[in-house]
């Protein structure tokens, strides 16, 4: 029976492969004919600004220009992509973002640059040409992203473990078709592994019933930094690019030719100063992701919604949960969803969930979603690997702006194709799509804007265009940073992979450590290679809040919430000097950043778990013993011990994290820590987990 199912599934895929091969051959001929031309077009575009304008200069440009060709609302990947596409075509462009660049969905992704294996499966099984076309386009754009910002992205092998014999031919054919659709843009060919080889490469994998594995390649990137690189590149090409610039409404005027009201600009508010002003343009583009419909309703209150938001939760765990350079794909979770388990920034990222949600600027991960991901991870890791709730270092929720059929309730079946719509008043809206295809989405949007508003511009010039930091980057650039500036090797590698060829600008402003080695580069926290100079440079990159620094200029909040909280006071001090903050402003920034960590990055769900649903049962003798030990730990006699205090001394007590006490393990840990305290004075101890 199982064999017949395997044959049937393979036959279905094989039938779809015929159409795929034919389409691929036509596509390859086109690329061979036109590929060189694309690179030449990109090379002809020269940035007009060597120095980034300050945010104040950008705001002034918005206020003083009489009319732009294009205003783009939204500073996510798609919005910044639209601004870059328009600016490189020679259009006078403005980009407005209510919060910070990449503050929404674009910084909360799975960090993959991919065509979508699951979408290809649906395309073939359902003979859905639109899904197939989306995968094909995404694979082409995947190659572009890897080339345009090589310092921020790289190919990543992803393992698909096989636990049933009949699945091996089924998934092998599917993955080979994925390679085939990519054609000349295939990163590396997929291959099959024996059980022993799979365990050698991924030793944490569950061994029992493992048949073998298939490994295929996709791309991975630093999503927030990639988004920022697009925005900064647009600024260098002349776009008036401003974060914390909120659109309060649309301006309209009567078209003399038709007598109809047409959108002619926006009412804008500088969030940092409160000042409002009008910005006029021939064309206004709505690229606001999950907030697409709210901007459309500024134009027409009666317009029906076209987006159905879907929440996706991710968690970050210590790096020892996965190999340094091998991801894992669970193609069929207990409820039919897909889970990725990937190395990222020397940590392990796991996700995602997929459930309908309300649109909000501050999505919050739930304990239910976190536990679902942990449960799925346990299914694939060996019994000797204890997957602990306390090892969740950060958690976040992102809202996908899916284009929906109004009658559909199942967001899992919705394709992430993008659509460009134009209202009767001329508002251009780009909705749907995915991170990987941002450039193609921007190209299609600007093409539509040019046609609708008779703008004078040529074709898109962004294919092959290097983004901020990518022009002179090389894999060995970090060595020069070590040799020329005396940076730690780990810090130098981090700077090179984050800023590309702009890493030298960060190194130049790095402070002297006062040590023999490293010579420069004071770390914000000991466990991570982020240095104080990045805060100063982040301000030059338009960072205006502490949250901007911990979540998007650096990725500290996404890697370890407690480390981010520890770094906050120093970050606020540095930003205060750069931006002339008062003491009151510093306090407000600290409070806002801590609320961000508490609600949006997973601190709250852990606190709720410990205080609301956890009970620790102790007998009277235990209470007396632990009271004595408590007073020994509380050497400052402050009368309390924080969660962080306990974790630092006891190296993250697994028993307490799970809500009950395992006497033997707790006793051993407490006794060991107690003996250490008796033998010597307390010394700083770095966290080994520090989960949220």
Residues 95-115 pLDDT 10s = 999 999 999 999 999 999 998
Question: Which pairs with CB-CB distance under 8 Å and at least 24 residues apart come from 300-303?
Answer: 300/423, 300/424, 300/425, 303/423
> Pick the residue with more confidence: 629 or 586?
586
- Provide the pLDDT confidence category of residue 606 given band limits of 50, 70 and 90: low
Average pLDDT taken over every residue of the chain: 85
Classify residue 359 as exposed, middle or buried by CB count within 10 Å of its CB (0-12, 13-18, 19+). Answer: middle
Neighbours of 294 (CB within 10 A): 13
Which pLDDT score is estimated for 642? 60
Average pLDDT over residues 46-50: 70
The arithmetic mean of pLDDT across residues 58-72, rounded, is 97
Given a cut of 70, is residue 6 above it in pLDDT?
A: no
Token reading at 608: 């709720």
Confidence of residue 352 (pLDDT cuts 50, 70, 90): confident
Q: 669: pLDDT confidence band, cut at 50, 70 and 90?
A: low
Instruction: Answer whether residue 40 shows pLDDT above 90.
Output: no
Q: Tell whether the model's pLDDT for residue 588 goes beyond 70.
A: yes
Distance CA 626, CA 646 (A): 13
Beta carbons of 525 and 563 less than 8 angstroms apart: yes
CB neighbour burial string for 632-669, b if at least 16 within 10 angstroms, e if fewer: ebeeeeeeeeebeebbbbbbbbbbbbeeebeeeebeeb
Digit-coded pLDDT (tens) for 484-511: 999 999 999 999 999 999 999 999 999 9
pLDDT digits (tens, 9 = 90+) for 215-233: 999 999 999 999 999 999 9
What is the CA 505 to chain-centroid distance, rounded?
24
Q: What is the DSSP code (8-state) at residue 28? A: H
More confident of the two residues 409 and 320: 320
- Would the pLDDT of 576 be above 80? yes
Q: What is the reported pLDDT for 658?
A: 45
Residue 37 has pLDDT above 50, yes or no: no
- Of 58-62, 132-136, 577-581, 665-669, give the lowest mean pLDDT range: 665-669
Q: What whole-number distance in Å separates Cα of residue 475 and Cα of residue 493?
A: 9
Asked which of 145-149, 306-310, 448-452, 483-487 is least confident by mean pLDDT, the reply is: 306-310
CA 123 from chain centre, in angstroms, equals 26
Answer whether residue 36 shows pLDDT above 50: no
- Burial of residue 254, with CB atoms counted within 10 A of its CB: 0-12 exposed, 13-18 middle, 19 or more buried: exposed
DSSP-assigned letter for residue 520: B
The CB density around residue 672, as the number of other CB atoms within 10 Å, is 13
Question: Using one digit for the tens of pLDDT, what is the confidence trace for 179-213?
Answer: 999 999 999 999 999 999 999 999 999 999 999 99
Q: What is the pLDDT of residue 274?
A: 97
Contacts of 140 (CB under 8 A, 6+ apart): 185, 440
**pLDDT digit string, tens, across residues 627-662:** 777 776 666 666 776 655 565 555 444 444 444 444
Question: If DSSP codes are grouped into helix, strand and coil, which group holds residue 618?
Answer: coil
- Compute CA distances 501 → 149, 469, 553, whole Å: 11, 5, 16
What's the predicted TM-score (pTM) here? 0.84
Tell how far CA 115 is from the center of its chain: 16
The percent of residues above 90 in pLDDT, for the chain, comes to 69
DSSP state of 87: H
In this predicted structure, the answer to whether residue 514 has a pLDDT above a threshold of 80 is yes
**Residues above pLDDT 70, as percent of the chain:** 80
- On the question of pLDDT at 27 being above 80, the answer is no
Output the CA angle 9-338-1, nearest 5 degrees: 30
pLDDT at position 50 is 82
The H or E element spanning position 147 is helix 129-148
Examine the pLDDT at 679 and tell me if it is beyond 50.
yes
The pLDDT assigned to 377 comes to 93
Would you state the pLDDT for residue 630? 74
Span 246-262, mean pLDDT?
93
Smallest CA-to-CA distance from 523 within 565, 555, 487, 559 is with: 487
Report the pLDDT value the prediction gives residue 485, as an integer from 0 to 100: 97
């Amino acid at each position: 029976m199982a064999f017949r199912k395997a044959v049937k599934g393979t036959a279905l895929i094989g039938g779809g492969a015929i159409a795929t091969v034919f389409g691929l051959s036509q596509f390859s001929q086109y690329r061979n004919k036109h590929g060189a031309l694309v690179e030449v077009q990109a090379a002809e575009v020269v940035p007009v600004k060597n120095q980034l304008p300050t945010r104040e200069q950008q705001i002034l440009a918005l206020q003083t220009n009489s009319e732009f060709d294009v205003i783009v609302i939204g500073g996510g990947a798609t919005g910044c992509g639209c601004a870059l596409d328009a600016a490189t075509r020679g259009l006078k462009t403005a980009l407005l973002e209510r919060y910070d660049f990449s503050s929404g969905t674009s910084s909360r992704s799975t960090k993959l640059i991919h065509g979508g294996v699951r979408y290809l499966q649906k395309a073939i099984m359902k003979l859905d040409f639109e899904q197939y076309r989306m995968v094909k386009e995404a694979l082409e754009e995947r190659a572009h992203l890897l080339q345009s910002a090589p310092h921020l992205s790289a190919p990543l092998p992803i393992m698909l473990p096989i636990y049933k014999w009949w699945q091996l031919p089924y998934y092998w054919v599917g993955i080979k078709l994925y390679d085939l659709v990519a054609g000349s843009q295939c990163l590396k060919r997929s291959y099959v592994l024996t059980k022993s080889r799979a365990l050698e490469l991924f030793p944490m994998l569950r061994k029992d019933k493992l048949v073998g594995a298939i490994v295929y390649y996709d791309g991975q990137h630093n999503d927030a930094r990639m988004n920022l690189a697009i925005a900064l590149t647009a600024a260098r090409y002349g776009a008036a690019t401003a974060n914390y610039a909120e659109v309060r409404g649309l301006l309209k005027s009567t078209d003399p030719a038709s007598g109809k009201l047409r959108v002619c600009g926006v009412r804008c508010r500088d969030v940092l100063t409160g000042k409002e002003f009008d910005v006029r343009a021939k064309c206004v583009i709505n690229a606001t992701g999950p907030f697409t419909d709210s901007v459309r309703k500024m134009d027409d209150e009666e317009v029906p919604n076209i987006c159905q938001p879907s929440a996706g939760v991710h968690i970050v765990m210590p790096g020892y949960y996965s190999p340094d350079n091998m991801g894992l794909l669970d193609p069929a979770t207990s409820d039919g969803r897909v889970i990725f388990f990937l190395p990222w920034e020397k940590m392990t990222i796991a996700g995602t969930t997929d459930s309908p949600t309300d649109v909000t600027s501050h999505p919050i991960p739930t304990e239910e979603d976190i536990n679902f991901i942990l449960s799925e991870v346990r299914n694939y890791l060996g019994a000797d690997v204890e997957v602990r709730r306390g090892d969740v270092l950060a958690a976040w929720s992102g809202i996908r702006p899916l284009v929906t059929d109004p009658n559909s309730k199942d967001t899992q079946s919705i394709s992430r194709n993008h659509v460009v719509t134009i209202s009767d008043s001329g508002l251009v809206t780009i909705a749907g799509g995915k991170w990987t295809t941002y450039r193609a989405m921007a190209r299609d949007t600007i093409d539509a804007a040019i046609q609708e508003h008779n703008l004078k511009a040529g074709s898109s010039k962004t294919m092959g265009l290097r983004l901020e930091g990518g022009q002179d980057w090389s894999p060995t650039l970090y060595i020069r940073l070590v040799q020329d500036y005396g940076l730690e090797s780990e810090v130098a590698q981090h700077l090179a992979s984050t800023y590309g060829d702009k890493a030298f600008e960060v190194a130049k402003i790095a402070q002297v450590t006062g040590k023999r080695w490293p010579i420069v580069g004071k770390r914000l926290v000991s466990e991570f290679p982020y240095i104080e100079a990045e805060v100063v440079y982040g301000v030059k990159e338009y960072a205006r809040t502490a949250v901007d620094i911990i979540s998007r200029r650096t990725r500290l909040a996404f890697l370890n919430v407690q480390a981010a909280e520890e770094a906050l006071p120093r970050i606020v001090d540095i930003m205060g000097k750069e931006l002339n903050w008062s003491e009151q402003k510093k306090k407000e920034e600290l409070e806002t950043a801590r609320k961000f960590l508490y609600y949006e990055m997973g601190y709250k769900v852990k606190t709720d778990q410990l205080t609301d649903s956890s009970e620790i049962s102790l007998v009277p003798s235990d209470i007396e013993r632990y009271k004595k030990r408590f007073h020994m730990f509380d050497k400052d006699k402050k009368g309390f011990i924080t969660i962080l205090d306990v974790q630092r001394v006891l190296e993250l007590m697994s028993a307490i994290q799970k809500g009950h006490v395992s006497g033997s393990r707790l006793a051993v840990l407490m006794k060991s820590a107690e003996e250490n305290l008796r033998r010597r004075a307390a010394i700083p101890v770095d966290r080994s987990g520090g989960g949220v």
